[in-house]
A and B are shown apart, each in its own frame.
Chain A
């Protein structure tokens, strides 16, 4: 080969990947079975064989800004057929975790969310914040009478916290991370010849984004998996229940501030029904996910703290949300309010740490899939 290339291994990066569930990466001997058995890998420059050697060599630049690691849906067909037990599917999952952390802003928060030692700190932040907020406004007590969560944690206070979180914090932090991410994957795709076009054209990218939406909504990539097809249903449940709850949250916001109708709302209210159905779907979905991960199946994905963090958060979220409603309806005053408090803590964590947690894949993967269409790596369906 005429080109010479000096490999500069980032040993620390290799160690981090191993800690994040990619501990089998050194077993790979580059037979390339994985790239062929992968049901969703493109024909040209397929993954994940090239990512495996980059991981072994600690070539961080070729991985964290690589759109291909996001095209991977961790079917683990590759891991099933891997002759060495190198588990490429799990290694790419670890790379995605590293990628989320790499582009996170502020970066220290990214590192904290990735580190299990800070789990309780992450929960303690909203707990302390809410206690101070309620204490300062004189609400830090269990109210008497019929249970109304607004009597305990006034809606205005909730919105003072969550509206800026959703409209300022998330767009700014995620926006910074995402812009770094997009420029990185573009640079990498051009350098590795995966992009058929080298220009940057925002309208075209948005068109690609639009054509990615049906793929995401239909989970059509997921449904091509064989080894890990058990993940399709729970992921679909969790995905749509989040959409349902998002719709409900916005509807109630409109009801409160525009229509001036405060909750709690009747159980037959269509949005209330959507909320309850979504909550049940979310609970079922997340329990199926956890069961799939702890079920000792050969092709089950390996689960690192980064995965557990999100699973536990979502489990906590749905359990406290459901129990808030049930204890309220059962008039269990002494437990209903603390559970509601805990629910708000989980909601806060989900929102505030979204750009740093595994949930960020919702955005990163969608963007990478859109970029892949933009760059001509995959066709629009």
Chain B
């Protein structure tokens, strides 16, 4: 990604002609505390950006903010003032009467060299002031990215937290009958746009996950006959087997520094243990050695611990969630609720672990603290699994099969804002990228 996007997308904050970014924390009335239990979405007005491409860009910004559940974009039909100069202060009173707390104005134009220039300003209506203004240059192919970057900037200015709109999702595109499903690796923007296929569907592919550098994924494929973990360079398509193990390897994830892949390796006795492989030295480290199923490992963001699924406890609880040191030390169970737990994934903020829980004939997506306390179920359904975190740790994406086939769904940490992710076909195994750069 870097190779293509870096040269094309230049972010030039505060270029000549645009007033400087001013956050004015002391005076700003415009803020949204996303740590409160029940966040009321902030009414925001986003008139069409000026210029030929303007409305397209502002539509994407509007859609991003709306889907976050933290913003309530106001119907354009209600607007009193018609914005003709996006660089001039608005008539604040005209926006107060429709209860807009924030206003975003902007324009998009073509440069002589063919690039597009997009600029926006964020106005605090009840504070009678501009909160931010930036401009961005981008290649035509990155139009949508410019919009996502603007949406991220607005999200961050108002919530104080990083956004997650300029991100992508790698997933498995599914088509065909359920007993002969064709599965293809695919990548798309987080809102479902710009889908690209990364495999041809001849072999079953499962569980793709992003490298922290966003340029590689690790996944499992049946292409050699025996299911194995692979690496794939997204841009070049170059593939590589991870390790040279005799049995099945599966459930891979990168370490936070991108230097290791942690995964399960099938033992000859039919049980599965967890190994980490250093991608440079190719040396492998065994982290578990149990006559149990140990799988779905996921590192803590500081790389010091690993959360995983195991049925080592036996009994009716079957698979549960355990945490151990990154060297395999001190494995201890953290899930004690009523049900079967699996697919633990450590939040990028480090504070929570997302999981799939089977209880009472349902599949639930939930989160717990890293010591297992404070379990909260965010979503329930017949068949749903496999949460992945947005890079800001505020939103989860997972897949749900309500009959027919799986589709992608996102839910925020309140559990109140669930959104379908549009895909052309059935889709499963989503994995969210870090923020692009």
Asked if A and B bind, the verdict is no
